[in-house]
Structure 1
């Protein structure tokens, strides 16, 4: 089932305001539990994990920044 434009906008807001901070806390906690890693390991690990949250939510964010395709278009004059 495809989400409507309004639903995608709402879900993207929830993901960015609640999900992303929670994900950041979890990632930092997990990396801290790994022990004292060298910086050359930490940097690529944080970069990969920083982009990993996007993959499952890509379909939610597609087209959210554009105008609502279902809205009535005002006459162009």
Structure 2
């Protein structure tokens, strides 16, 4: 079942305000934990890991964010006078 426009807007807000900060915390903690065993890698590799993690999070939520910034397609346009 497809989400309505209002539901997608609400979920997008929840994802950005709650999910994103939690993802950042867990991503940083995970990378730090990984490198605590192996030692810190060169800065370019660490940067690449963070860039990849910064892009990967959006793919599962692509359908939620599609068209959220547009006008509500379910509302009929009013006649300007």
TM-score category, normalised to shorter length: over 0.9
State the number of aligned residues.
Answer: 77
Instruction: Give 5+ residue unaligned stretches, structure 2.
Output: none
Instruction: Give 5+ residue unaligned stretches, structure 1.
Output: none
In structure 2, C-alpha distance between the alignment counterparts of 1:55 and 1:44, rounded to whole Å: 18
Aligned to 1:16: 16
Matched, 1:30 2:30: yes
Of 48, 55, 59, the match for 1:55: 59
Runs of 4+ in 1 over 3 A off after TM superposition: none
Query: Mean Cα displacement is larger for which, 33-42 or 50-59?
Result: 33-42
> 1:2-24: CA deviations, max 9, x gaps?
00000000000000000000000
Question: Aligned-pair distance for 1:72?
Answer: 2.2
In structure 2, C-alpha distance between the alignment counterparts of 1:14 and 1:46, rounded to whole Å: 23
In structure 2, C-alpha distance between the alignment counterparts of 1:27 and 1:37, rounded to whole Å: 16
* TM-score, normalised via structure 2 length: 0.90
* TM-score, normalised via structure 1 length: 0.95
Query: Aligned-residue CA RMSD in angstroms?
Result: 0.9
